[in-house]
């Protein structure tokens, strides 16, 4: 748990770290939207190659980024099994003719179409997790707060507390590793007192987590109170009258990086939606 990737900044000097946080935040949102348009393994492979190139430019070890996947393994397995069993495909005859097998038992079915759909869904989930993880690894909480506040700045017209909301979001991301580390400490302390978290049925295991959740919740409330007192002692009063030591400015490299991603996203959307009716787009969007 001490190696949690989400919410941690990996402090190195790289072209990705030096990019404007607003550009990285907008690109991350567009990246997630782009993943929902991709419907083939070929497109997922192209997106993965681009993502690996960004990880290489960020000078972050690939293993450090991939650690974020460990925490969704259960979700991946559950999603794969449910999608595989509940997808009836194109019918028994069509599935046998296309894939050579079709197994049906009660309400559940195992077929080639279900296997492909389950694989695509799990691949999309992995890419959705890795992309935002790379954002938090290359952007400090302060810069991330400024980016979120800039994105939500139009909502100031209807008097929404944009800065406070951005601060809450950045603090939540920043405290994820802290909460996970404290959870590990509490579990180790309970194990030293004879507690067991991996024996018995699911109800006994859930009951064994109560001695962990109660002190974790109490400590989280204490930490939030201490953080609020620390912010007040430093005269934090929200966005009103607040100045910035470093003002964000778009530079040529930020515009260039955004332009490159826009071209990449246009290519993916063009293939996924087949805007021009080209045969090679149909091929790339088939498998």
CA neighbor of 84 nearest in space, from 118, 50, 59, 107: 118
Structural domain harbouring 82: 1-139+250-287
Phi first, then psi: give them for residue 239, nearest 5 degrees: -80, -20
CA–centroid distance for 97 within its chain: 38
CA neighbor of 130 nearest in space, from 186, 48, 210: 48
Residue 59 resides in a domain: yes
Residue 269 resides in a domain: yes
Residue 193 pLDDT more than 60?
yes
Residues 6+ apart with CB under 8 A from 93: none
Query: Which stretches within the chain are classed as H helix?
Result: 21-37, 41-58, 62-66, 73-86, 92-99, 112-138, 141-151, 162-192, 202-208, 210-233, 252-273, 279-284
pLDDT (tens digit, 9 = 90+) per residue, 79-109? 998 888 888 877 777 777 777 777 777 778 8
- pLDDT given for residue 239 in this prediction: 66
Residue 173 resides in a domain: no
Residue 209 resides in a domain: no
Residue 232 resides in a domain: no
Mean per-residue pLDDT for 45-63? 91
pLDDT-derived band of residue 28, with 50, 70 and 90 as boundaries? very high
Residue 48 pLDDT more than 90?
yes
Mean per-residue pLDDT for 40-57? 92
- pLDDT given for residue 128 in this prediction: 92
Phi first, then psi: give them for residue 102, nearest 5 degrees: -160, 110
Residue 5 pLDDT more than 70?
no
Residue 78 resides in a domain: yes
Q: What is the spatial distance between Cα 88 and Cα 159, in angstroms, rounded to a whole number?
A: 50
pLDDT-derived band of residue 260, with 50, 70 and 90 as boundaries? very high
Residue 205 pLDDT more than 70?
yes
CA neighbor of 37 nearest in space, from 263, 283, 266: 266
Residue 30 resides in a domain: yes
Comparison of pLDDT for 102 and 28, the residue scoring more: 28
- pLDDT given for residue 1 in this prediction: 47
């Amino acid at each position: 748990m001490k190696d949690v990737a989400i919410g941690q900044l990996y402090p190195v000097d790289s072209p990705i770290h030096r990019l404007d946080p607003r550009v990285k935040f907008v690109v991350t949102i567009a990246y997630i939207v782009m993943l929902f348009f991709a419907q083939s393994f070929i497109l997922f492979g192209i997106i993965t190659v681009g993502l690996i190139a960004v990880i290489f430019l960020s000078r972050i070890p690939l293993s450090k980024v991939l650690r974020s996947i460990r925490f969704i393994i259960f979700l991946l397995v559950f999603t794969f099994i449910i999608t595989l069993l509940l997808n009836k495909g194109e019918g028994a005859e069509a599935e046998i003719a296309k894939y050579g097998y079709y197994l049906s038992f009660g309400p559940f079915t195992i077929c080639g179409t279900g296997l492909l759909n389950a694989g695509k869904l799990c691949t999309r989930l992995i890419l959705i997790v890795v992309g935002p993880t790379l954002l938090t690894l290359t952007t400090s909480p302060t810069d991330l707060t400024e980016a979120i506040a800039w994105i939500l700045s139009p909502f100031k017209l209807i008097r929404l507390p944009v800065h406070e909301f951005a601060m809450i979001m950045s603090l939540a991301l920043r405290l994820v590793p802290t909460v996970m580390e404290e959870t590990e400490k509490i579990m180790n302390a309970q194990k030293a007192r004879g507690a067991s978290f991996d024996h018995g049925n699911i109800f006994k295991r859930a009951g064994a987590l109560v001695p962990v959740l109660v002190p974790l919740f109490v400590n989280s409330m204490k930490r939030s109170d201490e953080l609020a007192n620390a912010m007040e002692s430093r005269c934090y009063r929200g966005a009103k009258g607040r100045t910035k030591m470093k003002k964000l400015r778009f530079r040529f490299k930020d515009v260039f990086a955004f332009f490159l991603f826009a071209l990449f996203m246009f290519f993916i959307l063009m293939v996924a939606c087949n805007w021009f009716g080209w045969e090679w787009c149909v091929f790339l969007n088939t498998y």
